[in-house]
Amino acid sequence: MQTLILSCNTGAGHNSCAQAVQEAYHSRGEICNITDSLQFISEKASTFISNWHTRIYRHAPRLFDAGYQRAESHEDIFCEGTPIYKLLSSGAERMYQYIRSAGYDNIICTHVFPALALTEMCRQHPCLQLVTSHISTDYTCAPCTADSALDWYFIPSTSLLGEFEQCGLQPQKLIASGIPVRQQFYQRVSQEAGKANAGISPAHQHILMMCGSMGCGPMEEIISYLCPYLTTEQELSVVCGTNDDLRKKLQKRTEKYSQVHVLGTVNNVPQLMQASDLFLTKPGGLSTSEAMAAELPMVLIDAVAGCETHNLNFFLRNGMAVTANTPKAIADTTIKTLNAPVLLSKMRAAMRSQTECTAADKIYEWIYSHAK
């Protein structure tokens, strides 16, 4: 099979998921490429949609949440014939030409936007023989997923099968695979070795703080409460991602705390997780899945809401995380959890029970064994 993964640049999670699946295919010597699905509308449209998604997500989380809730309660806005559907499917013919010319016969979507476009393409070209699938990258059924018509839908957990069925997806098309993350997150090293590799004293407790690739949420406020709590034997690494303004502000705010390390964009997140005792993060679908694979307990920050509230509830419900409602309470909870070894052990055990095999491998094996 020749595989094409259709992703989009609305947040790093969809691309991270795509890379994890690509890794599984490449490890077996298979052809597997990733492309930005929004480019089939136009390059300008892709840039515009992605940039505005980042701006709203980072600077106006309440607006993002309101938009998501409206989409949940008015899913017909994505139905065939609506303006949004027409926009998202307007690149269907260009997508067809791209897929046909390259000889792809296995198409995987890591976002609902390409799933809708792929559905329209298949309607326009019913003779094209393809295996088509969609991977959910959040612990919920995203609005309008059921408006697509693909062969398979890979979902995060068996406990969510009922929700996806209620949204209108056929149960025989649902496969509980988990959310794919790269193999590095499953690698195990001793915590002492992990800390030494990351430049953290093996004798120290280490908190890793991230709020997505965009560095969003009340990170400044939380850090202002958290830093005074830190002892000389506790360290905090803060990853700001692409938010360079935040990085500069935090470096200035924390300059008197030698045990605080403020970072920008990094390429060693798996290693940082291996070096950590606790993960302070917003509940993005990929970041929480990566932490689960790494068996790293979490304190979750409900920074953006929308689909991430569903993620938060999933991890709370399954005993893999804790949370609080205000920046000060988040800081308090972080320190209490860090100093609660029994609770940390229970969280790690809960994560271990959810990761029997890697999601990317399961997806590969399912598609390969059920190919037309």
Domain definitions of the chain by residue range: 2-180, 184-354
| Helices of type H across the chain | 12-26, 43-59, 61-73, 83-88, 92-102, 112-124, 161-166, 191-197, 219-226, 244-253, 269-274, 285-294, 307-317, 327-338, 341-354, 359-369
Q: Please list, residue by residue across 12-30, b when 16 or more beta carbons sit within 10 angstroms of its beta carbon and e when fewer do.
A: bbbbbbbbbbbbbbeeeee
Mean local confidence (pLDDT), 145-160:
95
Backbone angles phi, psi at 262, to 5 degrees: -100, 125
pLDDT tops 90 at residue 66 = no
Cα 222 from Cα 188, distance rounded (Å): 30
Confidence bin at 213 (pLDDT 50/70/90): low
Q: What is the pLDDT of residues 38-65, one digit of tens each?
A: 889 878 877 777 665 566 655 555 555 5
**Range in 69-78, 119-128, 190-199, 348-357 the model is least confident about:** 69-78
Q: What is the pLDDT of residues 14-25, one digit of tens each?
A: 899 999 999 999
pLDDT tops 70 at residue 304 = no
Mean local confidence (pLDDT), 352-356:
81
- Looking at residue 265, what is its pLDDT? 86
Confidence bin at 143 (pLDDT 50/70/90): confident
DSSP string, 124-158: H-TTS--EEEEE--SSS--TTGGGS--SEEEES-G
- Looking at residue 352, what is its pLDDT? 93
Q: What is the pLDDT of residues 238-251, one digit of tens each?
A: 998 888 888 899 99
Which letter does DSSP use for residue 311 in this model?
Answer: H
2-180 with 184-354: one CATH topology? yes
Dihedral of the alpha carbons of 51, 57, 63, 64, in degrees to the nearest 10: 100
Q: What is the pLDDT of residues 89-111, one digit of tens each?
A: 788 899 999 999 999 999 999 99
Hey, which CATH number is domain 2-180, 3.40.50.2000, 1.10.3720.10, 3.40.50.620, 2.30.140.10? 3.40.50.2000
Mean pLDDT, the chain, rounded, equals 88
Note the CATH architecture for domain 184-354: 3-Layer(aba) Sandwich (3.40)
- Looking at residue 59, what is its pLDDT? 53
- Looking at residue 371, what is its pLDDT? 77
Cα 245 from Cα 230, distance rounded (Å): 24
Q: Please list, residue by residue across 166-197, b when 16 or more beta carbons sit within 10 angstroms of its beta carbon and e when fewer do.
A: ebebeeebbbebbbbbbebbeeeeeeeebbee
DSSP string, 237-297: EEE-TT-HHHHHHHHHHTTT-TTEEEE-S-S-HHHHHHT-SEEEE---HHHHHHHHHHT--
Mean local confidence (pLDDT), 103-130:
94
Rounded to two decimals, the pTM is: 0.88
Q: How many residues does this entry show for the chain?
A: 372
Mean local confidence (pLDDT), 310-336:
96
Q: What is the pLDDT of residues 263-300, one digit of tens each?
A: 988 989 999 999 999 999 999 999 999 999 999 999 99
- Looking at residue 288, what is its pLDDT? 96
